[in-house]
Amino acid sequence: MKQFSIVIAGGGSTYTPGIVMMLLDNLDRFPIRTLKLYDNDADRQAVLGEALEITLKEKAPEIEYIYTTDPKEAFTDVDFCFAHIRTGKYRMRELDEKIPLKYGVVGQETCGPGGIAYGMRSIKDMIELIDLMEEYAPDCWMLNYSNPAAIVAEACRVLRPHSKVLNICDMPVGTLRRMSQIIDKTPEELDVRYFGLNHFGWWTSIKDKDGTEYLPQIREYVKENGYLTQVEVDTQHMDQSWQETHKKAKDLLAVDPRFLPNTYLKYYFYPDYVVEHSNPNYTRANEVMDGREKEVFSTAKVIIDKGTSEGSEFSIGSHATFIVDLARAIAYNTHERMVMIVENNGAIANFDDDAMVEVPCMVGTDGPEPLCQGKIPEFQRALMYQQVTVEKLVVQAYMEGSYQKLWQALTLSKTVPSAKVAKEILDDLIEANREFWPELK
Ligand code: NAD
Ligand code: G6P
Ligand code: MN
């Protein structure tokens, strides 16, 4: 069996240990010869880097391991780059969330003005990362989680159309895990039909391998409980605020009971509710800094202090299943079916060819082959057209340095009530993002 070489870009990410633990757990089905961490923040990465060095020495000493801030060292001789960078880190996520809230508008990592601001920061770093990968490892695949995935994917489509970059999201996988719990199955037993954009989609079918359709049964449950399940099915989205999001899916379903909604639609269907239930002084970024970030980094420090991972191991991240399965699908041409972000080109029959959509694909050595989802109803189509245009305008605004286009993007976002509010938020975001955004004229 071939052994693979992997670089994790964003080595200092809170998700890095969970992915590494998942890789270690899967060595029999996905053997690794080299593992590298790469980050542009040496100090942040060193904490996780050192703790993982101790962990790897104990669990898989045969794997060659380094952590580095040198792109050449990081990208030379690698087969896969798992990317999850966050340009501006949590300090900027916090501002993305708090600035719109000052104006009574949804403050969210990937949706509305916050997502647009994050998109404007991410594009440059993502393109640079792709170029580094191609310079040092021309055959490497980048499996990219870095957000906002919709805007990053559109930027890749326009700026690096031939690059081997696959943009993915763990939400369809995570929610399918909850659905499988509702019907007492496992995700592996189920095939879905799904259409939409990233963080903006619907399931139209959930079938087992015999072809039995479970959507009506799941719908009855979601009508009452949303995707909130009794059993702990997910270690990633268990915080109270996430539980409320899973539950809120029942109100999303009510808007169109034909399909099962992605939880992210709550920011577009119920922005007033979201704002009322947000604390403008303590947002999700604060929860994450006080929660996941503290937990992961303090575990790392314990491992380093003790010089061993025994008794204080990192846990396997459920978030990591998708990326490992995806790497396997490419490595072994498995043709596994996975929901991915790809250029539409007819997958959604009555939607623009050049839109980056999220649909099920067969994945093999040549990457994803989208499965046709047919025509979609006008309600979803109109919503998606509005949202995908926001995403396209952001990428154009970035490329042209256009204030006008970014203002239009914010004005068009369903989360923003008027051009006036859009302008006020934009002017604040420009101030906050001086270090990161191109100059807008
Ligand atoms: P984090 O801030 O803990 O980690 C991000 C790391 O990236 C930091 O260590 C930072 O120093 C590093 N970084 C920033 N710019 C870089 C660059 N240009 N080159 C190399 N490294 C760089 O953030 P996190 O909460 O762990 O999330 C990481 C990323 O994964 C975010 O973009 C997040 O939105 C994304 N994410 C996506 C999904 C999805 O469904 N697509 C799921 C979970 C997380
Ligand atoms: C889901 C989404 C990701 C997003 C994450 C935020 O997994 O699919 O795109 O980054 O949630 O989670 P957090 O715990 O950081 O708020
Ligand atoms: Mn996502």
Q: Which residues surround ligand 3, an ion (CB under 5 A)?
A: 169, 171
- Phi and psi dihedrals of 150, rounded to 5? -65, -45
Kindly give the distance from the C-alpha atom of residue 41 to the centroid of ligand 1, in angstroms, as a whole number. 12
Specify the pLDDT at position 236: 80
> What is the CB neighbour count within 10 angstroms for residue 146?
21
**Selected catalytic residue, list 170, 234, 325, 428:** 170
Q: From CA 398, how far away is CA 123, in angstroms rounded?
A: 8
**Selected catalytic residue, list 264, 267, 268, 398:** 264
CB 245 within 8 A of CB 263: yes
Print pLDDT tens along the chain (441 aa).
Answer: 899 999 999 999 999 999 999 999 999 999 999 999 999 999 999 999 999 999 999 999 999 999 999 999 999 999 999 999 999 999 999 999 999 999 999 999 999 999 999 999 999 999 999 999 999 999 999 999 999 999 999 999 999 999 999 999 999 999 999 999 999 999 999 999 999 999 999 999 999 999 999 999 999 999 999 999 987 766 689 999 999 999 999 999 999 999 999 999 999 999 999 999 999 999 999 999 999 999 999 999 999 999 999 999 999 988 888 999 999 999 999 999 999 999 999 999 999 999 999 999 999 999 999 999 999 999 999 999 999 999 999 999 999 999 999 999 999 999 999 999 999 999 999 999 999 999 999
Please give the DSSP secondary-structure letter assigned to residue 293. Answer: I
CB 146 within 8 A of CB 81: no
Listed residue (223, 224, 217, 211) closest to 180, CA to CA: 217
Specify the pLDDT at position 234: 67
Beta bridge partners of 224: none
CB 71 within 8 A of CB 132: yes
Annotated catalytic residue 264: yes
User: The whole model's pTM is what?
Assistant: 0.98
Specify the pLDDT at position 174: 94
User: To test ligand 2's pocket by mutation, which of 85, 92, 171 has the most ligand atoms within 8 angstroms of CB?
Assistant: 171
Q: Which residue do the tokens 């580094």 mark?
A: 132
How many helices and strands in the chain, by DSSP H and E? 17, 12
ipTM > 0.95 (yes/no)? yes
